[in-house]
């Protein structure tokens, strides 16, 4: 009866644990070498704002940044992009729809500046383990800008 009782129990738990822990250790080593392939994080506020600047050749307003990127203080992102790349965005003052006050429309002025913004966006994407803008996407964004800087409203 004792033999029958032991067969119901199965193998000794210590015997089962040894192979699993050995297997676990080899998996842990594999995981540590795979640590360079971390998951992609979501885009930062700054990256979203820079992509909005890049995708709108007609320019963006502080309100556009607020509504489309869900960010406040759009002028801070315009200043930040200028400082980071040593470029100058065109600023055009527009009256508010209600007729009270005004706001600025910020616009990238040349293809060279747009190229620099795209490069900065790619750096930000790389930091969060996202792929860079595709050549087609980058080309389509850049092609919408004039070769030479244009400061007058188009």
What are the Cα distances from residue 64, in Å, to 10, 36, 94, 113?
Answer: 68, 36, 13, 20
Give which of 91, 21, 98 is closest to 59, Cα–Cα.
Answer: 91
CATH entry 1.10.10 includes domain 45-143: yes
Six token digits for residue 18: 């040894």
Q: What mean pLDDT comes out for the span 95-119?
A: 93
Considering only residues 76 and 20, tell me which one the structure prediction assigns the higher pLDDT: 76
| CA 31 to chain CA mean position, Å | 25
CA distance 107 to 117: 12
Tens of pLDDT, residue by residue over 84-93, are: 999 999 999 9
CA distance 54 to 149: 15
- At residue 28, the pLDDT reads 41
Sequence spans of domains, the chain: 45-143
pLDDT-derived band at 10, boundaries 50, 70, 90: low
For residue 18, pLDDT over 50 is answered with no
124: burial class by Cβ within 10 Å (0-12, 13-18, 19+)?
middle
For residue 79, pLDDT over 70 is answered with yes
SS3 sequence, the chain? CHHHHHHHHCCCHHHHHHHHHHHHHHHHHHHHHHHHCCCCCCCCHHHHHHHHHHHCCCCEEHHHHHHHHCCCCHHHHHHHHHHHHCCCCEEEEEECCCCCCEEEEEECCCHHHHHHHHHHHHHHHHHCCCCCCCHHHHHHHHHCCCCCCCCCCC
CA distance 63 to 103: 8
Q: State pTM to two decimals.
A: 0.69
């Amino acid at each position: 009866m004792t033999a029958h009782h032991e067969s119901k129990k199965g193998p000794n738990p210590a015997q089962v644990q040894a192979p699993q822990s050995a297997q676990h250790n080899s998996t842990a080593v594999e995981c540590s070498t795979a640590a360079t392939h971390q998951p992609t994080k979501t885009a930062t506020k700054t990256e979203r704002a820079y992509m909005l600047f890049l995708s709108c050749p007609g320019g963006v307003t502080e309100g556009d940044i607020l509504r489309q990127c869900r960010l406040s203080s759009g002028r801070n992102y315009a200043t930040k992009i200028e400082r980071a790349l040593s470029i100058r965005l065109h600023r055009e003052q527009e009256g508010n729809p209600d007729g009270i006050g005004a706001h600025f429309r910020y616009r990238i002025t040349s293809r060279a500046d747009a190229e620099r913004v795209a490069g900065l966006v790619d750096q930000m994407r790389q930091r969060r383990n996202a792929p860079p803008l595709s050549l087609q996407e980058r080309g389509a964004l850049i092609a919408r800008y004039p070769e030479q800087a244009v400061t007058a409203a188009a």
